[in-house]
Amino acid sequence: MFPSKAVARQYLLGARKARPHAEDLLTSARSQQEVQEARRIALYVSRGAEPQTGALIDWLLAAGREVLLPILYADNDLGWGTAPGAADLVPGRLGLSEPPVDLGPDAIATADLVICPALAVARDGARLGRGGGSYDRALARVGPGTPIWAAVYDSEVFDALPSDEHDHPVHAALTPNRLIVLRRSLDD
């Protein structure tokens, strides 16, 4: 459908900007067994028209779960810190909200579940991000067997997307309405 990642990103970012409102992931996430059983979840603080994570983070913290949030380094790699609560996050690079204490880039390997941002996913597990490579590097550190989900809208799940060798696949797409298991997860 898309001839290149750049064309796909331009189209998808435009479609997100045109959305009447961003939708929340809480309802679809909390009904999933992996979320209910995970003690430590790597997540992110949503911005703008991204599927919203704020209520999910609050619910996880209230339920006694540990939430890891990313810290964007100058080289675009990601460190991770535990979520102290939305009011205690600090301003980070590029306007991101980050935890005040950095546990380092390898902390993601201790997560029981990873929910990462994406602009789109393909049914074979290909994930299209914003192009900085931050999450591809971070996802390569995730422990074997740990589920990795990309947060997208239902309209952002495609049969195929352009991808490169270095792109790290995901196991499922978490949308505000459901969890869509992707084919690659059957091959892992």
1/4 Cα distance (integer angstroms): 9
Count of CB atoms situated within 10 Å of the CB of 15: 15
- Residues 6+ positions from 148 with CB-CB distance below 8 Å: 114, 116, 139, 142, 168, 169, 170, 171, 172
Count of CB atoms situated within 10 Å of the CB of 87: 5
Q: What tens-digit pLDDT sequence spans the chain (188 residues)?
A: 788 898 989 999 999 999 988 999 999 999 999 999 999 999 999 989 999 999 999 999 999 999 999 999 999 999 999 987 656 888 888 788 899 999 999 999 999 999 999 999 999 999 999 888 899 999 999 999 999 999 999 999 999 998 888 889 999 999 999 999 997 544 44
